[in-house]
Amino acid sequence: MTKAWKVVVSGIMVGSTLLAAPIQDAHAANGPNYQGNETIKNERLHSYEEMVNFLEQVEQRSQHMELEVYGQSVKERDLYLAKFIQDESNPTILFLTQQHGNETLTTEAALNVIKKLSSNGKPVREILDNVNVLIAPRLNVDGAEGDVNFSLEDYVSGTHTRYNANGVDLNRDHIDREQPETKALHENILQVYKPDYMIDLHHQGTQVTLGEDGPLVSGSILYPTNDQVPEDVLQGSKQLGSVLYGAIEAKGYGILSKYPGGTANTISRNGLANEYGISTLLFEMRGMADHYREDYVLGQKSNGKLIQQGVTGMMAVLESIADDSIYEADVSFWDDLTESYYQGE
């Protein structure tokens, strides 16, 4: 049976209202660890239906956004792409969230960015006049609903899973594309819109520290590490990381480490850089909504800050592409960025 003890996971308020994420008072987005005696409140996250309602409402109110269904999941849920395209000659960036269904706050951050880009302020106009923005929130819509063809009884809450309905890790399916979600992503987004940049947003365990003896981190980043990635693509990836890192560090509530990622092209960070020449960046945030490992699940206190961390990084990258300052980003910081160390079990 699903374990009786549960963890609170909070994000932005759900439902049809378009509300911004709450910002907590903590100085760093490290929050409480899962203690095995809390109550899960997943209603504070957008369910699939609530996310769709949110996107449809924004499209109705926005002069800038067009919503596209680009495919279906194993369980035949529609997959949505929010498009902000003013000039096809502009550089294009794709933000991809929740390849893993239990990595929820990445989507909450993306929905905040969608709301921001749907406003009519001068800063937004300056971005959208110079950058085409694609946001694919929640690739793994079935895993995020816990609607899968296998048991989640060993999970902390049994509500979310990393895998899609067929039990496949979508972020290991970027070569074979045997799953409908990754197939749709490649055929109907990557091959159609040909983005220049992509940030792939994920979550990691709660006990990642800055080196073996450093503090807990609020996130980790990494560029493509496959040795076949072209140098100019790699440079663009490192520039993405430089901008995002600088923006989050400047806010004072985030600490980022260098993620110890692999080199396989089955991973989007590597495969998309090689196949399409996209400058990619992995951005991992702390904690997960559910997992079979208790040390991966995070309590609710810091979720507002983690969501805001995602918004801060995404908006900073958009601004840097819009004003061309990304080309001046100092990538030498990567040489000194401390690698992650996992203190968990």
In a domain, 307, yes or no: yes
- Residue 132 CA to residue 129 CA, distance in Å, equals 8
**Tokens representing residue 48 in the block:** 């699939």
* Chain centre distance of CA 329: 22
Which CATH number fits the domain that encloses residue 223?
3.40.630.10
**Helices (H) then strands (E): counts for the chain:** 10, 10
Average pLDDT, the chain: 89
State phi, psi for 186 to the nearest 5 degrees: -70, -50
In a domain, 23, yes or no: no
The pLDDT value recorded for residue 311 is: 97
Q: What one-letter code names the amino acid at 184?
A: A
The pLDDT value recorded for residue 295 is: 87
The pLDDT value recorded for residue 244 is: 98
Domain count for the chain:
1
In a domain, 163, yes or no: yes
User: What is the secondary structure of 110-178 as a DSSP string?
Assistant: HHHHHHHHTS--HHHHHHHTT-EEEEE--S-HHHHHT--SS--TTSSSSS--SS-TTS--GGG-TTT--
Q: Which stretches of the chain score pLDDT less than 70?
A: 1-44, 299-301, 344-345
Q: Which helix (H) or strand (E) holds 216?
A: none
In a domain, 9, yes or no: no
Please, what's the b/e burial string for 327-341 (b: 16 or more CB within 10 A of its CB; e: otherwise)?
eebebeebeebeebb
In a domain, 20, yes or no: no
Residue span of the structural domain in which 52 resides: 42-342
In a domain, 7, yes or no: no
| Length, in residues, of the chain | 345
In a domain, 3, yes or no: no
In a domain, 286, yes or no: yes
State phi, psi for 176 to the nearest 5 degrees: -75, -35
At 76-99, the pLDDT tens digits run 999 999 999 999 999 999 999 999
